Chains A and B, each alone.
Chain A
Amino acid sequence: MKVTFPHMGYLYVPLRAFFSQLGIEVVVPPPISQDTINLGTRYSPEFACLPLKINIGNFLQAAELGADTVVMAGGIGPCRFGYYAQVQKEILADLGIHLDMIVLEPPQGHWRQLFRGLKSLAANAGPVTVYRAGALAWAKLKVLDKLAKNQFVIRAREKVRGSTTQTWRIILDLVDQADSVQAVYIAAEQGQKLFDRIVLEPHRDVLKVGLVGEIYTLLEPAVNLEIERLLGEMGVEVVQSVYLSNWVMTNLVLHTFHLRNDGEHYQLAAPYLGSFVGGHGLETISTTIFYARSGLDGVIHLAPLTCMPEIVAKSILPQVSVDEDIPVLTFMLDEHSAEAGIQTRLEAFYELLKTRKQRGHKNNIKQIKNESTILGRKSIIESLSWH
């Protein structure tokens, strides 16, 4: 069995580790490029959202490299993602491409299906092997999320444009190559040391912008046209609202055991939206409010074109923006997104935020407070403990 899976940011690192530990051969699809997008859009329904199209591109490119099995997440709820796997199966079958599809359904009410999916993957592996594979993947995901968070702080203050991005690529490889939990933590510390070596301008006047919206467009740089890097290089510290490790912990683990602890956070959205609308629609509203109240300068909302939950959120955001006095910019992304148009809007948004801040907007006070605490490098970066 040669297993592949769709790309989503650096998710390939923990997934590669997980399957390799189970003794399964892994084919990581080539990084998402224009070729991937062309392939995907060619064989997908036009009005499907961009993630489905790019998944198809990933699968076809992986099949070319010899993959014979796809592991895909399933889903429940109003978002179309829930039947992606089924639709993709049909598309691949129509193309005459023989890829087995193993769909991992979320544990909420689908215990048996999840178990069946896992069992077909790891037929020969004992519980200890499965546990070890899970622990390694989890360690990789956790350290990468933490380093990614630091990356946003550093990039906004880097002296040489591009130095953070270069270092980040090296770090991804370091963590990817680590073959035990212990090695992962060593790689992470090494990575942090590389970050520490980047020359900063600690006094730079940095704006803070939150990224909210749909998970795939938030996490996959090839889809959001590397918005995190573009903003960072403009001198904007990005505050990313979704980290996969948090998401897995809250939605898959805590949720299953009825231990979710984010009820209060959701309550923020209650005056605008009273119920779950699928995907991340509700989170988009509540997180925007949360960011406004924590003194961020602005919020950027990302979603794939035709995404229903985010369309609901988008129509509410103008009111939230007025009530909470925070500028919000929405990008609906698809394969036709023009980089030049996005660049122009980002620059204009940056000017808008900067002028507001200079005019002594209320958030100014909080900003200055933040600036004084980040003068020393230690405090810029969350002190790190990996265990």
Chain B
Amino acid sequence: MKAYLGIDLGSVSTNFFVMGQDEEVLVNIYLRTQGNPIKAVRTGLARTQDELPPGVTIAGVGTTGSGRQLAGIIVGADTIKNEITAHGVAATSLVPTVRTVLEIGGQDSKIIILRDGIVTDFAMNTVCAAGTGSFLDRQAERLGLPIDQFGQLAVRSSNPVRIAGRCAVFAESDMIHKQQLGHPMEDITRGLCQALVRNYLNNVAKGKAIEPPILFQGGVAANAGMKVAFEEALGIEVLVPKYFAVMGALGAAQLAQRQVSNGAETRFRGFEVSNWDFHVSSRHCHGCSNCCEIVEIEAGEKSLACWGDRCGRWSEQNPAQIA
């Protein structure tokens, strides 16, 4: 049977999703990137191979996320797409009538507006990472809470405290202040969720027409407190899809299927890539005054790709699917 692999190499998590020809879910893996994207891709590939039912061959591979180029080079992707497109595709495949996607990941948050199944507008956070997964992770840790209990606790509160959410650093000091006053933990966590939602709606979602159906996806959607806070602020039901944490990878798998739908042969290097030795080096090019930082990725002795140059002197030789 043919199947399609999607990889979302993000700042915090690296996700793998394998989808069969009729969109049946075969593999669904969520890994922490932990600052080592190459290792995360190799580990994920090995696990994907283990979990794949017998008789399945990978007919197409798509990558997305901030590390999409790197992942694409390592595995040999058929399509390398930005995360906004991937998340939009994934959302429409689950809820074809979806009009708004709220996506909060490890280091960025975005809003995608769709009409009639196509993306018509989007925005990403630019200056501030308040409200993203990394910040919530850190606060849960500071409160001594496992992150999966954070949301449950927040939902139980009936009297949230007001926390200033304009800036992550100030939100933290405000939160400490409220703790020192003796407020119960659930009220503080609920207050924090509300502050982060306010921040998101005032920055990322500013000026966007948020209309139902609304999907909430990305790792932070696991936090029930955030879902409730969004519903409170918007006054509309917010849906969390079953595969909320791996939606980027799901979208990448679908994009891969589309890419090879004309019968093209996949560029997938095979699962043995998980045993290859990859080496990344960077250097300054002194060809002109731009002094670009060139990154080169090699497998053993063989150079796979270069990027970072403005003039194309180094990246000219890259495979065609790399932008």
> Which residues does A use to contact B, with CB under 8 Å?
30-31, 33-34, 160-162, 165-166, 226, 229, 234, 315, 318, 321-322, 327, 332, 336, 340-341, 343-345, 347-349, 351-352, 355-356, 359
Contacts and interface: CB of A to CB of B under 8 A. Distances in A.
A30 B82 contact: no
Q: Name the residue in B122, B126, B316 with the highest tally of chain A Cβ atoms < 10 Å from its Cβ.
A: B126
B124 interface: yes
B311 A352 contact: no
Contact of A30 (B126, B127, B289, B316): B289
Contacts of A340: 66
8 contacts: A162-B311, A162-B312, A166-B311, A229-B310, A344-B83, A347-B82, A348-B85, A348-B119
B191 to A, nearest CB: 29
Given A344-B66, A345-B124, A226 B85 contact: no
Contact of A33 (B81, B83, B124, B289): B289
Contacts of B311: 162, 165-166
B124 A352 contact: no
A34 B291 contact: yes
Nearest to B68: A344
A345 B85 CA distance: 10
Given A162-B312, A347-B85, 18 more contacts: A30-B289, A34-B291, A161-B312, A162-B313, A162-B316, A165-B312, A321-B121, A340-B66, A341-B108, A343-B323, A344-B83, A348-B83, A348-B119, A351-B84, A352-B119, A355-B119, A356-B118, A359-B118
B34 interface: no
Given A33-B289, A166-B311, A352 B120 contact: yes
Contacts of A315: 207
Contacts of B66: 340, 344
Given A226-B310, A341-B124, A348-B82, A33 B290 contact: yes
Interface in B270-323: 289-291, 310-313, 316, 323
A333 to B, nearest CB: 10
Interface in B194-212: 207-209
Interface of B: 66, 81-85, 108, 116, 118-122, 124, 126-127, 207-209, 289-291, 310-313, 316, 323
A318 B316 CA distance: 38
Contact of B126 (A321, A341, A347): A341
Contacts of B84: 344-345, 347-348, 351
B82 A344 contact: yes
Given A226-B310, A351-B81, A344 B124 contact: yes
A348 B251 CA distance: 14
Contacts of A166: 311
A318 B207 CA distance: 7
A347 B119 contact: no
A234 B323 contact: yes
Contacts, number: 71
Given A165-B311, A347-B82, A33 B126 contact: no
Contacts of A160: 316
Nearest to A345: B124
Contacts of A347: 81-82, 84-85, 323
Closest 4 CB pairs of A and B: A162-B312, A348-B84, A347-B82, A318-B207
Contacts of B316: 160-162
B300 to A, nearest CB: 27
Contacts of A351: 81-82, 84-85, 119
A284 to B, nearest CB: 15
Nearest to A33: B289
A356 B122 CA distance: 14
Contact of B122 (A229, A322, A348): A348
B85 A332 contact: no
Contacts of B312: 161-162, 165
A321 B291 CA distance: 38
A160 B291 CA distance: 22
B90 to A, nearest CB: 14
A332 B206 CA distance: 15
B66 to A, nearest CB: 7
Interface centre among A161, A345, A351, by most chain B C-beta atoms within 10 angstroms, is A351
Contacts of A332: 126
A343 B121 CA distance: 16
A318 B123 CA distance: 12
B122 A352 contact: yes
A30 B207 CA distance: 41
Nearest to A338: B126
Nearest to B80: A347
Nearest to A347: B82
Contacts of A31: 289-290
